[in-house]
C-alpha cells in the first residue's frame, strides 16, 4: 500500500495533487515525503511537462539516473540531480535534450512564489555572467522562463570547488599562488567589462577536470559605479569572512569598487594557505565586527611553510584602506607571477612602526590596556619625581609598580587564551573581571572613593561595550558597582576622612547602571537589526546566492 504523502515542513497529509505544489496547511512549498515528491513549483497546467513521477535525486550523479528511476523533465532539460542550493537558488545537473549536452541548471528556489526583487536579481546574475566570455569564468548558455519558473543554464564543471579542496588541508603555497593568479586575471577581465563580483570565496571557484579554476556565482555582481537599484543603501551583501570592510559596513556604493574584489581574493588566498578564513566567529554579527575592527593574523604565523613574499602579498590585498591594496586585480596577478617566477615582488613588508600598528589593530584590547597602563604609570612617576606629591613614594610606589606588572602579564595571558577559538569568550569574561578587581585594589591602596581616577569604572564598562556582548556589559557593571561599594565600605571602616557623602555615592552608583543600561540598549538594537537583515529576502542574505 502506498504511503501517504506528507509535508516535511508541518507534517500534514497531502491530498494528491497538492495545489500548485503548496501544502494546504502551512501554505508553503510542499516539501513532501512519501511515494512521490514534486520538487519544482509550477501550476497544474505545467504538471504534464514533468514526464516521470519518481522523486528527483538530491545529489549530482552519473549522466543517467539511478536504476528504477526515470529522469525528470523541465522543458528542454532532463534533470539528473541536485548539485547545491542556497537561500535564493538551487542548481541541478541536467542534460539539454536538444543539444545532448550536460549543463548546470539554476532556478529560483521560491519558484512561482518569487518576488519581483528575487526575479530581478536572478536575471541580473544571469545577464552579468552572460556578458563575460573568459576561459576561467563559468559561461552562461541560456536564460529563460518555463511556466513561471525562471532559470538559466551554464557550463557544468565536473570537479570540486576550492572550499571542498581546502577542507583536506592547506594547499601547497605555489599551487595556491598559481590558482589565485588565474582567478585574478579572470576578475580583471570582468572589471574591464564593467562588472564587480562582490562575492568571491572558495565555494564560488570550481576546479575543472584539467585543474583550472573557474569563477562562478555572479548573484551579487553589479556594474562598476552603480547597481541599478538592486541594493538598498546600508544593505550588507556578501559572505562576511571574505568581504572587505567597506562592503561589510554597508557604505555608499562609490566606496565598493575593484579594490573590494582584490580584498576578497586576498581572503581567498589566505584560506588556501592556512585552511581557514581570515575572520571567523560564532555569529555573522561577530564576524563583521572582526572584519571592521581587527587585522588578520599573518598566514606565516598559522602555517610556517608560507613563504615571506606570499605572506606579504596576501596581507597587502587585505589592507583595511582600499588605497593601500593592489590598484587592480591585474596588479595582484602580476605580483603573484613575480613570486612564481622567483623575481622580487612589488609589495613591501611593513616597517617597525607599520608592524606595531598592525599588531595593535589585531589585538586592540591588549594594546589599549598597555597604553592605558603606560599613561597611568607615567602620571604616577610625574607625581612622585616631578611634583613630589606626598604619599606617592615608599610602599605605594612599590605597590603601584607591582600592580602595573601584574596587570600587563595578566592581560597578555588572557589575550593568548582569547586567541584560541574554544577559550575565546571565557578568556574575555575573565579578563574583564580581572580589570575591575585590579582597579579596585589600586583604589583601596590609594585615595579610595575620593580618587581622581574613579572614572575608571565607567571606562571599564564602556570598554566592555566594545566587545558587543550584552552579558559582558552587565557583568562589568555589576562588578564595578560591587568594587565601588567595597571601596566606600573600606573608607568608612579604616579612613572616615575619605568617606564621601550619600549625595556623592548614590549618583555615582546610578551613573554606573545608567551607563550599563544605555550600552545594553544600543547592543540589543544592533543585534536586532542584524537578525532582521539575516531574516530578510535574499538581497540581504550573505549566503543567499
Count the residues in the chain: 545
Residues 451, 452, 456, 462: what is their CA dihedral angle, to the nearest 10 degrees? Answer: 140
Under 8 Å CB-to-CB from 347, ≥6 apart: which residues? 309, 312, 313, 316, 326, 335
Under 8 Å CB-to-CB from 138, ≥6 apart: which residues? 104, 129, 154, 155, 157, 206, 214, 215, 216
Q: Which of 199, 261, 311, 435 is catalytic?
A: 199
DSSP state, 31? Answer: -
- d(C-alpha 316, C-alpha 266), whole Å: 8
- d(C-alpha 82, C-alpha 60), whole Å: 5
DSSP, collapsed to helix, strand or coil, labels residue 495 as coil
- d(C-alpha 269, C-alpha 242), whole Å: 10
Radius of gyration of the chain, Cα coordinates, nearest whole angstrom: 30
Hunting for cell 575620593 — which residue is that? 450
DSSP state, 161? Answer: B
DSSP track, 94-140 = EEETTTTEEEEEEEETTGGG--HHHHHHHHHHHHHHHT---TTBPPE
Strand partners, 152: 106, 143
- d(C-alpha 202, C-alpha 27), whole Å: 36
255: Cα within 13 Å, side-chain hemisphere: 14
| Residue 311 annotated among the catalytic residues of the structure | no
- d(C-alpha 94, C-alpha 76), whole Å: 10
Residues that are catalytic? 199
Amino acid at each position: 500500500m502506498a504511503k501517504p504523502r506528507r509535508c516535511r515542513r508541518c507534517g500534514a497529509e497531502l491530498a494528491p495533487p497538492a495545489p500548485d505544489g503548496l501544502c494546504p496547511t502551512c501554505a508553503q512549498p510542499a516539501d513532501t515525503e512519501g511515494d512521490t515528491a514534486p520538487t519544482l513549483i509550477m501550476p497544474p497546467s505545467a504538471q504534464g511537462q514533468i514526464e516521470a513521477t519518481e522523486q528527483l535525486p538530491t545529489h549530482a550523479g552519473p549522466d543517467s539516473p539511478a536504476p528504477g528511476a526515470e529522469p525528470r523533465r523541465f522543458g528542454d532539460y532532463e534533470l539528473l540531480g541536485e548539485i547545491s542550493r542556497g537561500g535564493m537558488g538551487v542548481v541541478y545537473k541536467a542534460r539539454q535534450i536538444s543539444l545532448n549536452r550536460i549543463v548546470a541548471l539554476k532556478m529560483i528556489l521560491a519558484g512561482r512564489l518569487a518576488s519581483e526583487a528575487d526575479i530581478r536579481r536572478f536575471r541580473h546574475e544571469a545577464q552579468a555572467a552572460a556578458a563575460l566570455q573568459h576561459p576561467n569564468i563559468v559561461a552562461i548558455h541560456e536564460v529563460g522562463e518555463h511556466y513561471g519558473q525562471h532559470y538559466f543554464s551554464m557550463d557544468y564543471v565536473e570537479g570540486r570547488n576550492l572550499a571542498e579542496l581546502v577542507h583536506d588541508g592547506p594547499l601547497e603555497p605555489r599551487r595556491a599562488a598559481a590558482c589565485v593568479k588565474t582567478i585574478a586575471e579572470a576578475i580583471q577581465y570582468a572589471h574591464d567589462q564593467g562588472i564587480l563580483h562582490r562575492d568571491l570565496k572558495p565555494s564560488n571557484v570550481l576546479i575543472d577536470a584539467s585543474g583550472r579554476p573557474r569563477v562562478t556565482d555572479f548573484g551579487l555582481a553589479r556594474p562598476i559605479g552603480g547597481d541599478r537599484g538592486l541594493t538598498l543603501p546600508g544593505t550588507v551583501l556578501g559572505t562576511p569572512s571574505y568581504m572587505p570592510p567597506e562592503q561589510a559596513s554597508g557604505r555608499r556604493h562609490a566606496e565598493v569598487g575593484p579594490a573590494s574584489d582584490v580584498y576578497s581574493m586576498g581572503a581567498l588566498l589566505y584560506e588556501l594557505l592556512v585552511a581557514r578564513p581570515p575572520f571567523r566567529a560564532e555569529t555573522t554579527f561577530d564576524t563583521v565586527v572582526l572584519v571592521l575592527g581587527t587585522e588578520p593574523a599573518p598566514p606565516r604565523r598559522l602555517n610556517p611553510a608560507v613563504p615571506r613574499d606570499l605572506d606579504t602579498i596576501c596581507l597587502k590585498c587585505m589592507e583595511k584602506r582600499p588605497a593601500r591594496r593592489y590598484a587592480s586585480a591585474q596588479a595582484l596577478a602580476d605580483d603573484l607571477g613575480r613570486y612564481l617566477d622567483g623575481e622580487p615582488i612589488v609589495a613591501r613588508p611593513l616597517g617597525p612602526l607599520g608592524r606595531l600598528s598592525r599588531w595593535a589593530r589585531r589585538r586592540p584590547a591588549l594594546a589599549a590596556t598597555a597604553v592605558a597602563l603606560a599613561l597611568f604609570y607615567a602620571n604616577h612617576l610625574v607625581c612622585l619625581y616631578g611634583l613630589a606629591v606626598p604619599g606617592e613614594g615608599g610602599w605605594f610606589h612599590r605597590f603601584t609598580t607591582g600592580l602595573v606588572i601584574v596587570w600587563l602579564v595578566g592581560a597578555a595571558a588572557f589575550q593568548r587564551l582569547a586567541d584560541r577559538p574554544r577559550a575565546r569568550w571565557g578568556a574575555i569574561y575573565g579578563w574583564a573581571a580581572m580589570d575591575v578587581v585590579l582597579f579596585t585594589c589600586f583604589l583601596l591602596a590609594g585615595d579610595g572613593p575620593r580618587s581622581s581616577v574613579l572614572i575608571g569604572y565607567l571606562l571599564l564598562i564602556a570598554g566592555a561595550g566594545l566587545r558587543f556582548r550584552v552579558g559582558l556589559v552587565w557583568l562589568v557593571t555589576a562588578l564595578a558597582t560591587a568594587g565601588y561599594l567595597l571601596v566606600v565600605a573600606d573608607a568608612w571602616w579604616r579612613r572616615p576622612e575619605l568617606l564621601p557623602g550619600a549625595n556623592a555615592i548614590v549618583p555615582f552608583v546610578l551613573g554606573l547602571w545608567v551607563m550599563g543600561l544605555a550600552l545594553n540598549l544600543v547592543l540589543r538594537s544592533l543585534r536586532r537589526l542584524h537578525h532582521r537583515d539575516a531574516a530578510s529576502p535574499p538581497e540581504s542574505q550573505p549566503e543567499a546566492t
